[in-house]
Amino acid sequence: MKIIIVDDEPLVRIGIKSSIDWQSIGIEIVGEASDGEEALKLIAEQNPDVVLLDIKIPKKDGIEVLSEMRAQGMRTKVMILSSFDDFAYVKKAMKLGAVDYFHKPSMNIAEIKSAMSKIKDELAMNKENKLQEPSFVQDKDIILRNLLTGKIEDVSQVKLKEGNLYTILFTVKLYAQVMKRYTKENPAFLPNTIRHLLTELLAKENEVEFVQMEENLYAVLIGNNESKGLQASFAHVNDIVYLIHSSLKRFVNIDMVFGVSEAVHSFENFNQAFDQAKQALELKFYHSNDPVFYYRPQDKDIEQKMEQINDYVMAMKKGLKEESYDLFAQNLEAWEQYIQLHECLTERDVRKIYEGLLFMLQDGKTDAGKAGQSDEIEDFFELSAYYHELFNERLRAKISGTNKEYNPLVRGIMQYIENNYRESISLKLLGETFQTSPNYISRLFKQEVDRGLFDYLNEVRIRKSKDLLKDYRYKIYEVAEMVGFKSQVHFAIVFHKYVGMAPKDYRKEIG
């Protein structure tokens, strides 16, 4: 699989390239670009499978690049790189067909590898299906998927006629738990069973088709040419929903969640119905006990709501950066109440914000094990409770760490670092200064402070640098030297790790 990285920050590109052994997982980085125009040219030349695309790049931003890719018919999968406060842009990118997005401050190796592996598996599965499926089934599935994504081809194989067309999308509820019932030796059991059952159930329907869109996403396309009026058509749609839901519950003992579109009247509008059904299905995150959701038009003031959400997120970031934990807690509660009331963020958006806040609370460290435990949660209230527990745990540790009485040796080392952070500091130097074993110092410091000595040293240096960056008399390389870094590049890398942005961007943000 071939990928291209597009980001105007060299350190981000370097970090992505160097953090993963891409070759070992069968992925080749075939190019990188620092602006939109360069990116489009490179994508056309290399025809990559995936593009990692920064949302804010010079010349043409990520939205413009994605729009032109779609206009030119490029089917390359795009994964967006964004910061916390780019939600409006991310929303536009997802509407244009981006498959996922990462928050740059909190993205980690496990997250990137997981997303890439998923795409790689999908590409492999599509290739295998083309080889194994009978050509009629293969061709028909392709036609149906194309219909739903706006590519109209020969529809002679499709049992549908224009007029009162609907799309139903459904997923298996608590999918991760359901899949644990099936052995690794037969992972295809559930999708095969669903497919065979739907084939039987819908065989006698004159104007109904179905297709699997993703691992846990199935689409049912319904025509109502024989029905008279919208009321009869809508009743027919509900009958199909009930038939599928009750049959899968009875035969496979699984619960489903359904999203239903409004009626559209031509094949050209099937992609609109598909988008509506996806939006309807997103509501399950806020109403976990309901089995069926119907599309409702988006509020006209959605942009204002997104601005309000951005304000809450920025206030939470400010609270964490300034260690004003009351400010963080107040805005966290206000943000949660707001999104619960207006239901204006998708599950993916909410998860990304929680993950980013946890990342900040952990001082730029990731805990893949802890974060991964939330994957099976499908309900907003459960997810909120889960992250509140993590937040409170981290806040208690920070507050107790501030007031903790450390071992006299550790206190002495902390004071030494506070006084000498500008100088070169090594374990050997500390051993000589405090007349004890460097290994003992390293072990004791980690045990008492719950992080490595050099992590602590970097935190002190970065804290001091943030104050110096407020003073525009100093150039960035001068700030780096003033806090003990030998090179501006190393300073920028460490600063980005702890603050989530480059020094120059931090300076702009604080004005």
DSSP string, 8-63: S-HHHHHHHHHHS-GGGGT-EEEEEESSHHHHHHHHHHH--SEEEEESS-SSS-HH
- Asked if residue 487 has pLDDT above 70, the reply is yes
- Asked if residue 134 has pLDDT above 60, the reply is no
Q: Which contiguous run of DSSP H or E holds residue 213? A: strand 208-214
Please report how the helices 347-361 and 302-321 are oriented relative to each other, as an axis angle in degrees rounded to 10. Answer: 10
The listed range with the strongest mean pLDDT (100-109, 157-166, 403-412, 468-477) is: 468-477
Rounded average pLDDT over 394-402: 71
Please give the angle made by the CA atoms of 139, 145 and 151, to the nearest 5 degrees. 95
Q: What is the pLDDT of residue 395?
A: 84
- List, edge to edge, every strand of the sheet that includes 2-6: 28-33, 2-6, 50-54, 77-82, 100-103
Q: State pLDDT tens for residues 323-343.
A: 888 899 999 999 999 999 999
- Asked if residue 173 has pLDDT above 60, the reply is yes
Q: What is the pLDDT of residue 220?
A: 94
Cα separations in angstroms, 342 against 301, 308, 422: 11, 11, 50
- Which domains does the chain possess? 2-121 (3.40.50.2300), 135-294 (3.30.70.270), 302-401 (no CATH), 408-509 (1.10.10.60)
Q: How many Å is the maximal CA-CA distance in the chain? A: 92
The listed range with the strongest mean pLDDT (7-21, 108-122, 215-229, 444-458) is: 444-458
Q: What is the pLDDT of residue 185?
A: 53
Find, among 173, 204, 207, the residue nearest to 190 by Cα. Answer: 173
User: What average pLDDT does the structure give for the chain?
Assistant: 84
- Asked if residue 136 has pLDDT above 50, the reply is no
Q: What is the pLDDT of residue 119?
A: 83
- Asked if residue 228 has pLDDT above 70, the reply is no
- Asked if residue 294 has pLDDT above 50, the reply is yes
- Asked if residue 104 has pLDDT above 60, the reply is yes
Q: State pLDDT tens for residues 55-81.
A: 888 888 888 988 888 887 787 888 888
